[in-house]
Amino acid sequence: MKTVTVHASVQYDVLIEKGSLARCGALCANVFEPSKATAAVIADDNVAALYLEPVVQSLKQAGFSVCTFVFPHGEDSKSHEVLLHIYDFLIQNNITRSDFLVALGGGVTGDLVGFAAATYLRGIRFVQIPTTFLAAIDSSVGGKTAVNIPAGKNLIGAFHQPSLVVCDPDTFSTLTPEIFADGCAEMIKYAMIWSEEFLQLLESCDIQERLEEIVAYCVDIKRQVVEQDEHDTGIRMILNYGHTLGHAIEKVTNHAVSHGQGVAMGMVLITRLGMKLGRCDAALLHRLCSVLERYHLPFHYDGALSELAESCLHDKKRSGSTIRLILVSTAGKADILPMDTAELETILKGELPC
């Protein structure tokens, strides 16, 4: 088993091992007292059909009382309506602060259950059991939790660190190739912003053979960033490399482009923008495109860049008339460049080098 220990406001372990989902009860028993805690396991209907039973059995076997809540899959469930149903479920099951929640699933579940945990009884502990590659290497670690409101995604949220993360890479085998590739975009992001050595590994190895190591590599990079800036006021912003333009692409395509595909194209566009500003060279762009291609991710956005400008101007990462761009100057090194939104608009309305 690989263990990454995150030293944030709460210290917790991220345990990574194939087969660990069916042993989650014993792993939770190292953190919570089974005779004193009920585990409230929450999953969407797709994930519940696959993994709820083994998780419940394992928790019961370890001596925990268990209750379960299942909600419809999809981003629409990351809403205050479903959140209120979760609060009702917790109240009906007499869940108190000595108990804990279990977020079993992908990013939607982790964010939603994490936010329920952050707010129910002013904060209750929770465990993340990510079942997608993307959730395993990104959203399950670092304590960002949120729900969506009509005005925008993740606009209501809280920082609330999990008490434990149990990642079983065997769960990735039930993902479609497209959903797995979404995680690959974040994996490549980590290499680009933090580690040339990791980029070399991704350029040469068969990641399917080394999933535990790859997840641990990504989580350890996220750990280093989050430990320096838990509340996202400084260096943590580099985790948004490719995301501002990526989100804009997702939005203007009405989500026909997935999150990972958007981030992939966003990383390419911001690299081209960096070239225009003289901050990186064509060799970096070529290297990025090659590695994206290796992981079946798109690197060419054929829509109008001017369309993206408007969406970027509404990005919540904007502060006043300044937007913080995340640029990679050389593989493994990211910088935060504050830019006036009007300047960004002008650049996006012009030509970018390719």
The yes or no reply on residue 125 touching ligand GLY (CB under 6 A) is no
Among all chains, which residue has been given the structure tokens 């660990």? 20
Which has the closest alpha carbon to 63: 40, 34, 30, 36?
34
Q: In the set 78, 236, 247, 251, which binds ligand GLY (CB under 6 A)?
A: 236
The yes or no reply on residue 223 touching ligand GLY (CB under 6 A) is no
The yes or no reply on residue 260 touching ligand GLY (CB under 6 A) is no
Q: Considering the complex, what minimum distance in angstroms separates the CB of residue 222 from ligand GLY?
A: 7
Residue window 127-146: x/- pattern of binding to ligand GLY, with contact defined by CB under 6 A: -----------x---x-x--
The yes or no reply on residue 274 touching ligand GLY (CB under 6 A) is no
Q: In the set 48, 113, 187, 239, which binds ligand GLY (CB under 6 A)?
A: 239
Collect contacts of 153-156 with beta carbons under 8 A, ≥24 apart: 153/75, 153/78, 154/111, 154/316, 155/316, 156/80, 156/115
Residue window 286-305: x/- pattern of binding to ligand GLY, with contact defined by CB under 6 A: --------------------
Q: Considering the complex, what minimum distance in angstroms separates the CB of residue 239 from ligand GLY?
A: 4
289-321: burial string, b at 16+ Cβ within 10 Å, e else: bebbeebebbbebeeebeebbebbbebebeeee
Which has the closest alpha carbon to 218: 243, 246, 183?
183
Among all chains, which residue has been given the structure tokens 């419940």? 56
Contact 89, 69 (CB under 8 A): yes
Angle, CA 36 vertex, CA 31 and CA 40 arms, to 5°: 75
Considering CB under 6 A, how many residues would be counted as binding ligand GLY? 6
Q: Considering the complex, what minimum distance in angstroms separates the CB of residue 64 from ligand GLY?
A: 29
Total residue length of the chain: 354
Q: Considering the complex, what minimum distance in angstroms separates the CB of residue 144 from ligand GLY?
A: 5
Task: Give the range of 1-9, 23-31, 83-91, 231-239 binding ligand GLY by CB under 6 A.
Answer: 231-239
Instruction: Give the contacts of 333 (CB within 8 A, at least 6 positions apart).
Output: 193
Q: Considering the complex, what minimum distance in angstroms separates the CB of residue 129 from ligand GLY?
A: 18
The yes or no reply on residue 266 touching ligand GLY (CB under 6 A) is no
144 vs 247 by CB, closer to ligand GLY: 144
**DSSP letter (8 states) at residue 314:** T
